[in-house]
Amino acid sequence: MDSITEISSLYNPKFVKPIAIKYIQNNESKIWEAVITHDSVSILLWHKERDAFVLVKQLRPAVFNMNPKDGYMYELCAGIVDKELSLTQIVKEEILEECGYDVNISQIQKVSKFYTSVGISGASQTLFYAQVDDNMKVSNGGGLDEECIEVVYISTNEAKKFMFDESYQKTPGMCMAFYWFFDNRDALMKNL
């Protein structure tokens, strides 16, 4: 059973750096607590044969800390930008690691770039889209090292209902990506 065993302060963090930002706004000195984090990439994967979105489900300790009954999140396949590679190459690697699909870079389409966690971080996330099929499946996915990622398929017909079903914890980026898909569906289906 999942449980939190300890919460402590970080003194030498690996992925985030807590900072205090002193600034002036409207001639008034202010201070804001924030963290420096990596930018990230995410991808909306749509499976042609299943007529379904390919998502990942994983335990998010920060969510688990706030909701000890359920810290599992439904998310887009995603990863941090921590390598000297193109964003498209990083997202290709994340698809393979997390979901088990080997997608050709030429089939990965950039959708948009936006900012996440703006209350505590100024990191950006670049959203991509790709279509997958069973021929591209080369492994079970699940992530690397200590990651415990479950690959989940949400049918296209159920996706709108899923977005608003609060019994599933999900990210706003995933919901935005679904909206983008439905807004562009006719054009995307021409590529089948």
**pLDDT, tens digit, 9 for 90 and up, residues 84-118:** 999 999 999 999 999 999 999 999 999 999 998 89
Q: What's the CATH number where 81 sits? A: 3.90.79.10
pLDDT of residue 10: 78
**pLDDT, tens digit, 9 for 90 and up, residues 149-172:** 999 999 999 999 999 999 999 999
Q: Does some domain include residue 31?
A: no
The tokens of 24 are what? Answer: 């002036």
Beta strands per DSSP E along the chain: 17-25, 28-36, 40-47, 52-59, 72-75, 77-80, 109-115, 124-132, 150-155
User: CB within 8 A of 131, min separation 6: which ones?
Assistant: 45, 46, 47, 48, 107, 188, 191, 192
Total of domains in the chain: 1
pTM reported for the whole predicted model: 0.91
Query: For residues 192 and 179, what is the distance between their CA atoms, to the nearest angstrom?
Result: 20
Q: Does some domain include residue 26?
A: no
Residue numbers of the domain that contains 184: 39-189
